Amino acid sequence: MAKRVGLEVSVAVGDAAKLANVDVVAAYPITPQTHIVEHLAELVANGELRAAYIPVESEHSAMSACLGASAVGARTFTATASQGLELMHEVLYVASSLRLPIVMAVANRALSAPISIWCDHSDAMAVRDTGWIQIFVENGQEAVDNVICAFRIGEDRRVLLPVMIHLDGFSLSHMIEPIILPEQSEVDRFLPPYNPPLPLDPEKPVTVGAFAPPFIYTEVKWAQEMNLEAAKEVISECWQEFGKTFGRYYSPVESYRTEGAKVLLMTMGSLSETAMVAVDKMRSEGKEVGLIKLRLWRPFPFAELRQAVKDAEVLIVLDRALSFGGPGGPVCSEVKAALYREAKRPAVVGFVGGLGGRDISMADFEEMVSQGIKIAQTGSEREFEIFGVRE
Partner 1 sequence: MAKAKVKTKAKAEGELSWKEIEIGCFITEPGNATEFRTGDWRSRKPVVDFSKCNKCTLCYYYCPEGCVAKTPEGYFEADLFYCKGCGICAEECPKDAITMVEEEK
Partner 2 sequence: MTSKLIEIRWHGRGGQGAVTSAELVAQAAINEGKYAQAFPSFTPERRGAPVLAFNRINSEEPIRTRAEVYQPDVVIILDATLLTILDATSGLKDGGIVIINTKKSVEQARAEFGISGRVATVDASKIAQEAGVPAVNTTMIGALIKATNVITLEGMKEPLERRFARVAERNFKAMERAYRETVIGE
CA distance 202 to 217: 27
Residue 113 or 343 having the CB closest to partner 1: 113
Q: Which helix (H) or strand (E) holds 220?
A: helix 214-246
Contact 226, 154 (CB under 8 A): no
Residue 129 lies near partner 2 (rule: CB under 8 A): no
Residue 325 lies near partner 1 (rule: CB under 8 A): no
Stretch of 52-60, 237-245, 295-303, 383-391 contacting partner 1, by CB under 8 A: 383-391
Residues 167-226 that bind partner 2 (CB under 8 A): 168, 170-172, 174-178
| Binding partner of residue 192 among partner 1, partner 2, none, CB cut-off 5 to 8 Å per kind | none
| Binding partner of residue 113 among partner 2, partner 1, none, CB cut-off 5 to 8 Å per kind | partner 1
Residue 71: CA atoms inside 13 Å, Cβ hemisphere, count?
19
With CB under 8 A as the rule, give the number of residues binding partner 1. 6
C-beta atoms surrounding 9 within 10 Å:
30
Residue 18 or 109 having the CB closest to partner 1: 109
| Binding partner of residue 174 among partner 1, partner 2, none, CB cut-off 5 to 8 Å per kind | partner 2
Q: Which of 1, 57, 113, 214 binds partner 1 (CB under 8 A)?
A: 113
Contact 82, 123 (CB under 8 A): yes
Residue 118 or 384 having the CB closest to partner 2: 118
Residues 326-365 that bind partner 1 (CB under 8 A): 357
Q: How far is the CB of 80 from partner 2 (least distance, A)?
A: 18
C-beta atoms surrounding 209 within 10 Å:
9
| Binding partner of residue 391 among partner 1, partner 2, none, CB cut-off 5 to 8 Å per kind | partner 1
Stretch of 39-47, 267-275, 304-312, 368-376 contacting partner 2, by CB under 8 A: 267-275
Phi first, then psi: give them for residue 134, nearest 5 degrees.
-135, 125
C-beta atoms surrounding 315 within 10 Å:
25
Residue 32 lies near partner 2 (rule: CB under 8 A): yes
Site string for partner 2, 101-120 (x = CB under 8 A): ----------------xx--
C-beta atoms surrounding 115 within 10 Å:
10
| Binding partner of residue 8 among partner 1, partner 2, none, CB cut-off 5 to 8 Å per kind | partner 2
CA distance 391 to 385: 13
Q: How far is the CB of 293 from partner 2 (least distance, A)?
A: 11
Residue 5 lies near partner 2 (rule: CB under 8 A): yes
Q: Which of 114, 209, 214, 325 binds partner 1 (CB under 8 A)?
A: 114
CA distance 103 to 161: 9
Residue 6 lies near partner 2 (rule: CB under 8 A): yes
Handedness of CA 324, 330, 334, 335 (dihedral sign): negative
Helix locations, 4-159, DSSP H: 9-19, 34-45, 59-72, 82-87, 89-97, 122-125, 140-155
Going along the chain, which residue ranges are E strands?
4-8, 24-27, 52-55, 76-80, 103-108, 133-136, 163-168, 176-180, 253-256, 263-267, 289-294, 296-298, 314-319, 347-352, 385-386
Contact 72, 48 (CB under 8 A): no
Residues 43-72 that bind partner 2 (CB under 8 A): none
Phi first, then psi: give them for residue 254, nearest 5 degrees.
-120, 135
Beta bridge partners of 385: 351
Residue 57 or 391 having the CB closest to partner 1: 391
Residue 389 lies near partner 1 (rule: CB under 8 A): yes
Chain residues binding partner 1 by CB under 8 A are 113-114, 357, 389-391
Chain residues binding partner 2 by CB under 8 A are 4-6, 8, 32, 117-118, 168, 170-172, 174-178, 270-271, 273-274, 276-277, 357, 359-362
